[in-house]
Amino acid sequence: MNLSSRKVIQFIFKLASDKRPLFFWMFVRFVSAILPLITIYLFSEIVKLLEESASLNSVISMVIIIFIVRILDNYLRLKSITKLEEVISNIGFDIHNFFLSELKTESKTERAATVQAIRNFSDASTLTLNLIKQPGIDSIVSLVLIPAIIFFVDFKVFVITIASMIIYFFIDAFTTQKYAHLKDILNTKTEIYYAKLQESNDFDLEQTAWCRHFSRITHWGFTEWFTLQNTAVFFYSLTLLYLISQVTTGQKPISDVVLLMGYSTQTQTLLNSFSSIKDSFADMFVGLQHLAKNGSVSVIDLDDLI
C-alpha cells in the first residue's frame, strides 16, 4: 500500500462514527486469520503420525485438536465478519453525510453528477473495507507468517516463494496502474450518464460511451488476471516438482510435502486477494480524485491526501 492509499484509508477511518467497534472487530479478525495456518500444520502432523505408524489414540487426539481449532476459527471469523459488515455499512453513510452536509449546486444536473461522484467514492470505499475485512486480513497475516514458517522448513521453497511474490507484485503494480487509468475514464462517463438521465430521455450517446469504456476495463481485467494466474501456476508447479524430487530421493517425508504445498497454495490464493484489494484501492482513489476536482464539493483538498 503506497502513501496515498494509506492517507485515503486514514481519511475514511477519520469519518467513521463507530471507531471502537471497527478496530476491536478488526483485531478479532486478525486473530481468526491465524487459525487456518495452525490447521494446515496440524494436518501435516497427522500425516506424519500415520507415516510413523503412531497409535490410534495419538491420531484421534490430533483430530480432536483440529476440530476444536476449526470450530474456534469459524466462530471468531464469522462473528467478526458480520460485526464488521455492520460497521462498514455505517461508514458508507458517514461518507454521504460528510460530503452532502454542505453541498450546494446551481442545477439539478450538477447535483446529479456530484451525488453520483459521492456514490462512486462511497461504494468504492465500502467495497475496499469489505475486501480488507475478508480476505485482506487473511492475506496480510498469511503473507507475513507463511514465508517465515517455510524458511525454517525448507530454504529452497522459501526462495521460490519469495521470488513468486516479488514477480507477482511487480506485474500487479503495472496492471493496477493501467486499471486505474481506465477506471478514471469510466467514472467520468458514469457521472455524465446519470447527469444526462436527470436532464433528458435522449441519453443513447452517453450510454454507448459508458458501455464502450466498460468493455475496455473488462478486457484489461482478463489480461491482468490471466497473467497473474499463470505466474502463480508456474511457481506452484516449480515448488511441486522440487518437492516430488525430494520425496523420490528419500530426502523428505510426505508430511513435509503436505505442509509446504498447503502453505504454497495458501500464498498464491492470498496474492490473488491482494490484487483484488489493490484494484479496489484504485477505484477508491479515483473516486476521491473526482470528488476533489468537483467544484460543488469544498470539504476536501486532494493535496492533503497525496
pLDDT tens track, the chain, 306 positions: 566 667 777 888 888 888 899 999 999 999 999 999 999 999 999 999 998 888 999 999 999 999 999 999 999 999 999 999 999 999 989 988 888 877 776 777 777 777 877 887 888 788 888 888 888 888 888 888 889 989 998 999 999 999 999 999 999 988 988 888 888 888 888 888 888 877 777 778 888 888 999 999 999 989 999 999 899 899 999 999 999 999 999 898 998 899 999 898 888 878 888 788 888 877 777 777 777 676 665 555 555 554
Beta carbons of 199 and 177 less than 8 angstroms apart: no
Distance CA 86, CA 134 (A): 14
CATH T-level topology, domain 3-305: ABC transporter transmembrane region fold (1.20.1560)
d(CA 71, CA 256): 25
Residue 108's nearest CA partner among 189, 225, 196, 45 is: 196
Closest to 112 (Cα-Cα) out of 300, 270, 296, 248: 296
DSSP state of 209: H
Report the SS3 class of residue 104.
coil
The pTM of this model reads 0.76
